[in-house]
Amino acid sequence: MLSTPSIVLVMPEDGTTTIDATAVDPEGETLRYTATRPAHGELTGAGPVYTYKPAKDYAGSDALTITITVRRHLVEVPVSITIVGVDDAPVAADLAATTNEDQGVAIALTAADGDSTLLTYEVVAGPAHGTLTGHPPAITYTPAAHYHGSDSFTFRASDGELDSNAATVAITIADVVTCGDGFVEGAEQCDDGNAIETDACLASCMAATCGDGAIQAGVETCDDGNGSNTDGCVNTCVPASCGDGFAWFGEEACDDGNDDNADACRNSCEAASCGDGFVQAGVEACDDANDDNTDACIDTCVAAACGDGFVEAGVEQCDDANQDDGDACRNDCTLPAPPVCGDGDLEGAEECDDGNLADGDGCGHSCLIERCGDGLVQFSRGEQCDDGNAVDGDGCSATCQVDPFVTTAAIKISDTLSCTTAVANAARKVAVDGSGTIYAVMHCGATAVAVTSRDRGLSVSAPFDLTTGLADAENGIAQVAVNSGPSGVAYAALLLNTGAVYLRTTQDGGLTWGPAVAVGTAANPSSGLSLESFNDDVYVGFSVPGGVGVARNHSRGSGTFELTPVAMGIAFFDLLYDVVQGTLAVTADTPGFHIRVSTDAGVTFAAEANPPGQEFFSDWAIGNGNIFAVGINLGAQGDANRLYIIPSSNVATSSFVAGLPVVTTPQSRSVAADAEGNAYVGSQLNGGGVQLDRLG
């Protein structure tokens, strides 16, 4: 029946083959074909021709049987198929991955190959917005910094012979907002990549603004995070200040935003008030910033007027706040004509009036009867002293003559102080007041002391430290000087190493000394200090640029001093006061003589005169119209054997008396004069001893 008893086929893997089982029946009957199912493939067709397709990637043997049936007869045709294996290309799989911004993700590449499990992988096209690292199939994808969105790359696999298809890995990168990463994202207003609060972008990624509580450098000077204009930072982020128009609570009483001092708020942001120095328009008539009711504006800020009860200095003589013209103050605020001392009419409290103001004629310049015991030394009347009493034996007799001197034993002042008086002659160290009380001052190391003898040298008081209460005395003392006043009154001047000059006064015979009063400042503390006084008048001399400063006070050193700079050449200088003629002189040597004279109590001085003569380390005195000068020899210069006499009325001239012993030690000669014009010269001799000479 069949043309072949069996069928043997050979075919390639994954191919198809035709099985032809065509047979012929001799009787011409119709044949029926059936086939069994192959174990490793698929059989299609209804016979006698079939198509066989092996299972995918299958290689090996397969078999089936085709049965041919005709009437009652059948024939089985075995079919043997050999599937020859061939090499298949791998198949790469598409993948998907997700990650967050700035965060990598691990990806395992996959592919299938029925022929081999040893596959290699390669990236065909890299990602557009990131990088790949690692060794395929295990790789890591890292998105570009701050990128979010979609990205992809392609890869393929190889079995060593064939390459797979190109598979795609799709990656989704989620947006993650991070303040401080330098990228503006989401609700951020800014992102400068730092956490600095003082730049234009805050650490919260919000734009810096006034009121955010952070001070923006170069833009704001303060930021207190609120909108209050009454604290230390106004809402424009500048510090509160007077004149900004906002009243700073606790600091300003007002702030009207202007510099008008005539309204209710001054430009210092204080409420206008009487006494602040500014006239408030419509409220005050004047305002002189003081409570002095003797000037043009009284302390209620009303202009001074006659009848207000206050005497306006320089304008009114009196003001009794009434309109009674018959009392002690007229209703035009003038006084009735006062008694005039010196007009010859005895009026008011005058004890006498001899028609002149001269002293020494029995009626003094104040129209009080001159008498011994009034406490003022009247040299013109022959008084040598005046202790204000009529007691003999207390140093000043009842006739105002100095009691005879007695020799006393030396008295030790202190066991602990180390003192010296070896300083310039001008700074006198001993003085005697009108009562005969003796005052002595000494330079003791870093301080200066004063002692007093009230019994003509028989005993002395305990030393008083003249620097007490002076903080600037800690740098030491340059000079100290003493001079006397009326009975019980003496003055001590201090020149500190800092240049500061002070004066202390005692008015109880040295029992107590008043507080130090500032006199002035010396330009050169080593140039000297001079102190002169008469009764209540005090004169202090010290160096100033270009000459000598003469400070004057006419109230026993209380209150302030007035200074007159006296231009002149100086090396050693002195102040001299003629108690008879009232002449004040400034004298100096360089070693030539320099003299300027004042006849108005030190207010002004005549031009400098340079009388003939010269001395080194000069000392000076004045008495009854004559100035006396002595000094020492220094090398070939100096006229140290001479006593020079210079009339104070003509200081450009001089005469001299020779015969003084020659001395060469600095500050070893001194001169004094009395009210009658007698001169006394003391010389410390070169060979030892002291010589006293008198010119009378």
DSSP string spanning 356-396? S--SSSSB-TTS-B--TTSSS--GGGT-S---SS--SSSSB
Quick one: pLDDT at residue 388?
72
- 93 neighbors 165 (Cβ within 8 angstroms): no
DSSP, res 154: E
The SS3 call for residue 317 is: coil
Q: Of 160, 166, 157, nearest to 110 (Cα)?
A: 157
Rounded Cα distance, 358 and 353, in Å:
11
pLDDT in tens, 238-247: 999 998 889 9
Rounded Cα distance, 606 and 650, in Å:
11
Structure tokens, 15: 């191919």
Band (491; pLDDT cuts 50, 70, 90): very high
Fold of 7-84: Immunoglobulin-like (2.60.40)
Quick one: pLDDT at residue 358?
66
- Residue 64, CA distances (Å) to 20, 56, 145, 320 in order: 13, 18, 64, 157
The answer, yes or no, to whether residue 357 has pLDDT greater than 70, is no
The answer, yes or no, to whether residue 634 has pLDDT greater than 70, is no
Question: Which secondary-structure segment (H or E) carries 573?
Answer: strand 572-577
Quick one: pLDDT at residue 180?
83
The answer, yes or no, to whether residue 636 has pLDDT greater than 60, is no
The total of other beta-carbon atoms located within 10 Å of residue 44's CB is 10
Q: Of 644, 653, 546, nearest to 591 (Cα)?
A: 644
Degrees to nearest 5, angle at CA 396 with 361 and 673? 70
pLDDT in tens, 80-109: 999 887 777 899 999 999 999 889 889 999
Quick one: pLDDT at residue 375?
67
The answer, yes or no, to whether residue 421 has pLDDT greater than 90, is no
Fold of 91-174: Immunoglobulin-like (2.60.40)
pLDDT in tens, 95-152: 999 999 889 889 999 998 877 778 899 999 999 999 999 899 999 999 998 899 999 9
Band (265; pLDDT cuts 50, 70, 90): very high
Average pLDDT over residues 639-655: 90
Structure tokens, 432: 């005697």
**In this predicted model, which residue has the larger pLDDT, 558 or 410?**
558
Which residues lie closer than 8 Å to 131 by C-beta, 6 or more apart? Answer: 141, 142, 144
Band (327; pLDDT cuts 50, 70, 90): confident
Quick one: pLDDT at residue 454?
87
DSSP string spanning 243-311? TSSS--TTT-S---SS--TTSSB-TTS-B--TTSSS--TTT-S---SS--TTSSB-TTS-B--TTSSS-
Band (202; pLDDT cuts 50, 70, 90): confident
Q: Phi and psi at residue 526, in whole multiples of 5°?
A: -85, 0
Mean pLDDT of the chain: 87
Which residues lie closer than 8 Å to 395 by C-beta, 6 or more apart? Answer: 385, 387, 402, 403, 435, 436, 437, 456
Q: Which residue has the tokens 């020494």?
A: 360
Q: Of 46, 51, 58, 55, nearest to 79 (Cα)?
A: 51
pLDDT in tens, 567-626: 998 877 899 999 888 899 999 888 889 999 999 989 999 999 999 988 777 789 998 899
With a pLDDT cut of 90, the percent of the chain lying above it is 37
What are the residue boundaries of the structural domains of the chain, listed by start? 7-84, 91-174, 408-567, 568-696
pLDDT in tens, 155-194: 999 988 889 899 999 999 998 888 888 888 878 889 888 8
Exposure string (b/e) for 314-352, b if CB count within 10 Å is 16 or more? eebeebeeeeeeeeebbeebeeeeeeebbeeeeeeebee
- Residue 43, CA distances (Å) to 48, 59, 553, 654 in order: 12, 16, 147, 165
Q: Is 408-567 in the same CATH topology as 91-174?
A: no
pLDDT in tens, 361-394: 778 767 888 888 776 667 667 777 776 778 887 6
Exposure string (b/e) for 357-369, b if CB count within 10 Å is 16 or more? eebeeebbeebee
pLDDT in tens, 24-51: 888 888 889 999 999 999 999 988 999 9
DSSP string spanning 61-76? EEEEEEEEEETTEEEE
Structure tokens, 102: 């700035």
Q: Phi and psi at residue 527, in whole multiples of 5°?
A: -85, -10
Quick one: pLDDT at residue 167?
94
Average pLDDT over residues 196-214: 87
Degrees to nearest 5, angle at CA 617 with 615 and 618? 55
Quick one: pLDDT at residue 2?
46
- 645 neighbors 657 (Cβ within 8 angstroms): yes
- 296 neighbors 315 (Cβ within 8 angstroms): yes
Rounded Cα distance, 538 and 601, in Å:
10
> Facing residues of 130 across strands?
143
Q: What is the 3-state secondary structure (H, E, C) of 632-650?
A: ECECCECCCCEEEEEECCC
> Tell me, what amino acid is at 444?
C
State the Rg of the chain over Cα. 63
Structure tokens, 302: 């009303």
Q: Of 439, 467, 441, 442, nearest to 452 (Cα)?
A: 439
pLDDT in tens, 657-669: 988 888 877 777 8
Quick one: pLDDT at residue 547?
92
Average pLDDT over residues 667-677: 82
pLDDT in tens, 275-302: 888 999 999 999 988 998 889 999 999 9
Exposure string (b/e) for 211-230, b if CB count within 10 Å is 16 or more? ebebbbeeebeebeeeeebe
- Residue 491, CA distances (Å) to 229, 494, 583 in order: 61, 10, 20
Q: What's the CATH code, domain 568-696? A: 2.120.10.80
- 435 neighbors 390 (Cβ within 8 angstroms): no
pLDDT in tens, 509-529: 999 999 999 999 999 888 889
Rounded Cα distance, 481 and 483, in Å:
7
Fold of 408-567: Neuraminidase (2.120.10)
The answer, yes or no, to whether residue 4 has pLDDT greater than 60, is no
pLDDT in tens, 530-553: 999 988 899 999 999 999 999 999
